[in-house]
Structure 1
């Protein structure tokens, strides 16, 4: 090949190279992303127009300078010495990933800059290396992502915290107790739980309104937050119940001090619309190792202690003990068995006769609920009614008792005793049911029973529970139905005489505690005689409960008490036994049991208002 041939071939190649460079220059210059070319010391050699628009600086302004001098905000800008020492490391991970940073423009505004770094070589000499940087303003994308992250943070906070108080909720509590470090603290016996319940919170809501109730909850939350240590967790677990998980680095003794701090903080009065709200609280406490090996077990134990604190009069802290644990398990077993009893109809009634002292005849009986427990045998109401009330089962039991009592009265009719009355005990739960009078009416009609033979007994203490107006309304509905109403356990409340004037009742039942003192307490005899005389003036009957001795019976007869019942006459018994007892008395040739006059099946007027 000749030199001429070589020259002839080289010219087109150079022309193509020049054309390629020109095309590359136009592409780079027209790119939307900023492009910067630096040497290995990070000095700027060239920028494209997009980069000039991005920063607000011209190529002439930037040429020969290191970008750290003017693109980084002052608060994160390195020192002049560090900038001068900077040089690119060819092996740096910088060239293998994007970088995101906050940069500043010439006008002082900031933006988020996404940068990519590439190392290129224009020749074999290391000095021929250049760094090419692409720059893109991603402020909108970053702002959107940050907003989404904040939404996620807010949602997570909402999912783990109570809206009203801002304290941790049950979900956050469960996560906290399941954390490995917390489980380790429990194992070392360095964790405690306080379960806090606001005393009589319902009264605050009912008397001052839900606004005051919410403010009270917030006040308690604020107090707990003040008391809580840096490693504690304060929670609202529902309603008016709060919980404090306490770190106890010095052992369980510190739990008492923390509970005292809580009670002290809650003792500060709260002002609400010129009203002073004094907040009391009951606290159940459990430290790790007190029979509990997990967070959930600690809460259960603290709940048992709280139950005991409230039972002892509230406003105090009780530590969990083994005895409390046994009592809690007994309550849990009773609750389970009660639900089973309601669903499997394990209840029955026993009937206790009532004697008319005026003529010595059996005039009626009281239906008393019993539970045929599969393991424990026949249980009296005192063993289960309070628990049934707490479980919301009392109304179900009352309805079952009503049905069995009316069936028993119908059976007594068929056995030849058509004029006996039946007294049925009812709770506040059933009185609050507006459907109760209608259901009772239907039950009476379906059995062909006269409503006047039924006496509904309402506990005097039911009135003192703050539902007096509701009880009065219920009594009025029952009386319109034609049944009689008696005030039961009269004398156990604080304002028994006032109830006689407030309620349109047909009879009162003197509590057995008053009858038991008749023989030993002269003042009590005067009170009983006065009540009987007053009831006579008010055209009300009186039934004396718990009559056990002949002396008590004689005193009541002299006081003109209309009706008695008690062990001195007969114990409560099943229906079949009552029918047999009635027939035995009717057939007896002389005085009946316990020196009572003989009873027969002859019709006897039911105790009620005198005509």
Structure 2
């Protein structure tokens, strides 16, 4: 068999691509490789007008190839058409796991099928759309003409608009949004099927960060950012073995007595190249790499070691607070692990505060999280509601999650001495907490005026740079000795009547 003339090939049904040449026979594509070896791939619609039904790839026709391989095979063939660029498009329904929990699997399956129809209706008959997994779709846009970024953004906007209308035009009982990432082959120096898929996933990853309903086109900037994230992820896995993860501690003061009410443990990564990194710089990478359970375990150990260090140093630290992520709180063995570490360290559970973001309990938490927090409270641990005022937690949830202290977010504290509206909002929080029998702590106190105002308003505890920045455990005793022995006495402004 010899490779035919291109014009004859198009008339006779040949498909010519990077893999060699082949002949389309119904549902089968027979490819002749460079070495003269025949390979049976599977159905790949020829570039040109085909019916919508034929573009649907049934499971029975994909027994030997995964859906990802179907897409890359089509991209390889499309790249062989040199006149125009090929485009890889990824569409993913936002927050589909939560949708399944709320509406059930059957409804989500219908949503997935409708999403596929919406995508195909907004593309051409020559384009291919495949359901990869979960709520993720991949489309290969045939190289039929010039596709600039603006044209693709318009296409993506039409897809998102159509998805948003499904709840009105069908019996689907939920509002759908999707994150979309795409790349055209002319954006890559040496495009291959696999590099196009990687670039499309990079663009989708950026869209996910800005979900819901975000669209991102691949660019060199996204590529550089993705490469940096991959380096950080690789370094993160080695950080624990190399001892680069440290706990820093920020003091909290009792407003009435001026004495230590505790410390909050904060994670720092001593990166060998990038220096000391704060959680905001690396936690997303840790989450993606599945390292949050290990990080949580490390922080528990270091925090309990710090309590032991303070006890031996004669520094009276009533309790320590540790932040727990949603994934950590979802660990069925969390209570067992904490109880074991407390027992081994000979530390009373009452000295450990579990800090939970308000956004965690403001949404529908699963039974494991609810059970874990209740069990930890029964064990004797305190539960702090962190960043209060940012997540719309209800009073019911404050009781439901055994919250013992509310930490008022620093966005409400900043400028409280001069902003009447800020003051009224904090007063409302303090009044509510008092009636619920819940203690309060103001975060982000940076000026003496803010501290004095909070003292007058009867806030229980304060924390922030005005007192001290987070520090290694070795520096805490020296800081405490200097702070509590300096000539400036703790503030003693009388508290208002509750």
TM-score, L = length of structure 1: 0.66
Matched position secondary structure for 2:59: coil
Deviations 1:40-76 (A, max 9, x none): xxxxxxxxxxxxxxxxxxxxxxxxxxxxxxxxxxxxx
Pick aligned residue for 2:134 from 220, 239, 244: 239
Unaligned 5+ segments in structure 2 are: 1-38, 45-55, 493-498
CA distance in 2, matches of 1:228, 1:535: 55
Q: Residue 363 of structure 1: CA displacement?
A: 2.5
Match of 2:79 among 161, 183, 191: 183
Q: 1:282 aligns with which of 166, 179, 186?
A: 179
Q: Within 5 Å, give how 1:19-30 maps onto structure 2.
A: none
Higher mean C-alpha deviation, range 294-303 or range 497-506:
497-506
Residues 1:549 and 2:470 aligned together: no
In 1, the alpha carbon distance for the partners of 2:309 and 2:355 equals 21
Q: Is the 8 A contact 2:83 2:143 kept in 1?
A: no
Q: Which residue of 2 aligns with 1:205?
A: 100
Say if 2:326 is the partner of 1:425.
no
- Superimposed CA distance per residue, residues 78-135 of structure 1 (whole angstroms, 9 cap, x where no aligned partner): xxxxxxxxxxxxxxxxxxxxxxxxxxxxxxxxxxxxxxxxxxxxxxxxxxxxxxxxxx
Shift of 1:437: 1.2
The answer on whether the counterparts of 1:216 and 1:270 sit within 8 Å (CA) in structure 2 is no
Q: How does 1:450-461 map to 2 (within 5 A)?
A: 450-461=348-359
Q: Secondary structure at the match of 1:434?
A: coil
Residue aligned with 2:80, SS: helix
Q: Is the 8 A contact 1:460 1:489 kept in 2?
A: yes
- Residue 482 (structure 2) pairs with residue 584 (structure 1): yes
Give CA deviations for 1:261-280 in whole Å, capped at 9, x if unaligned: 54465455279995444433
- Deviation per CA, 1:229-262, whole angstroms, max 9, x where unpaired? 3542222222211111112332123545554554
* Other-structure match for 1:163: 59
Structure 2 counterpart of 1:385, from 283, 298, 315: 283
Q: Is the 8 A contact 2:260 2:316 kept in 1?
A: no
The structure-2 alpha-carbon separation of the partners of 1:452 and 1:584, relative to structure 1 and needing over 3 Å to count, comes to same
- 1:291 maps to which residue? 188
- The alignment status of 1:248 with 2:146, answered yes or no, reads no
Gap change, CA 1:176 and 1:210, over 3 Å in 2:
same
Deviation at 1:396, TM superposition (A): 1.6
Q: Distance in 2 between matches of 1:165 and 1:214?
A: 21
1:514 Cα offset (Å): 0.9
Is 1:315 the equivalent of 2:213? yes
CA contact (8 A) 1:165 1:217 kept: no
- Cα distance in structure 2, aligned partners of 1:533 and 1:256: 50
Q: CA separation in 1, counterparts of 2:420 and 2:218?
A: 46
Structure 2 vs 1, CA of residues 341 and 156 (structure 1 numbering), >3 Å: closer, same or farther?
A: same
Alignment pair present for 1:219 and 2:114: yes
Q: How does 1:16-55 map to 2 (within 5 A)?
A: none
Task: State which structure, 1 or 2, has the greater radius of gyration over its C-alpha atoms.
Answer: 1
1:347 match = 245
3-state SS of 2:188 partner: coil
SS at match of 2:147: coil
Q: Could you give the per-residue CA deviations for residues 301-342 of structure 1, whole angstroms, max 9, x where no partner exists?
A: 222222333333433533222222222222222222222324
| Of 432-441 and 264-273, the range deviating more from structure 2 | 264-273
Change in Cα spacing, 1:256 to 1:207, as seen in structure 2 (3 Å) is: same
How far did residue 392 of structure 1 move?
2.4
Q: CA deviation at 1:406?
A: 0.6
* Matching of residues 392-541 of structure 1 within 5 Å: 392-467=290-365, 469-495=367-393, 497-541=395-439
Assess if the C-alpha contact under 8 Å between 1:544 and 1:565 holds in 2. yes
How big is the alpha-carbon RMSD for the aligned residues of Structure 1 and Structure 2? 3.1
- 1:301-340 aligned within 5 A: 301-340=199-238
Measure the CA separation in 2 of the matches of 1:564 and 1:346: 30
Q: Which has the higher contact order (CA 8 A, sep 6+)?
A: 2
How big is the shift at 1:497? 4.5
Alpha-carbon distance in 2 for matches of 1:445, 1:291: 57
Q: Secondary structure at the match of 2:471?
A: coil
- The 1:206/1:370 distance shift into structure 2, 3 A limit, reads same
Q: Which residue of 1 aligns with 2:16?
A: none
Deviations 1:553-574 (A, max 9, x none): 1111111222111100011100
Report the Cα distance in structure 2 between the residues aligned to 1:510 and 1:197, rounded to whole angstroms: 36
Shift of 1:469: 4.8
Aligned to 2:5: none
Q: How far apart, CA to CA, are the structure 1 residues paired with 2:101 and 2:169?
A: 14
Q: Contact 2:415/2:450 (CA < 8 Å) preserved in 1?
A: no
Given that residues 519 and 551 in structure 1 are in contact (C-alpha distance below 8 angstroms), is that contact kept between their aligned partners in structure 2? yes
SS where residue 193 of structure 1 aligns? strand
SS at match of 2:440: strand
Asked if structure 2 preserves the Cα contact closer than 8 Å seen for 1:164 and 1:214, the reply is no
Per the alignment, in what secondary structure is the counterpart of residue 384 of structure 1? helix
1:340-368 deviation line (CA, Å, top 9, x unaligned): 32454421011111111212112311111
Alpha-carbon distance in structure 2 between the residues aligned to 1:168 and 1:421:
53
Deviation at 1:196, TM superposition (A): 1.1
Q: Distance in 1 between matches of 2:66 and 2:168?
A: 25
Change (3 A) 1:173 1:454: same
In 2, the alpha carbon distance for the partners of 1:353 and 1:503 equals: 25
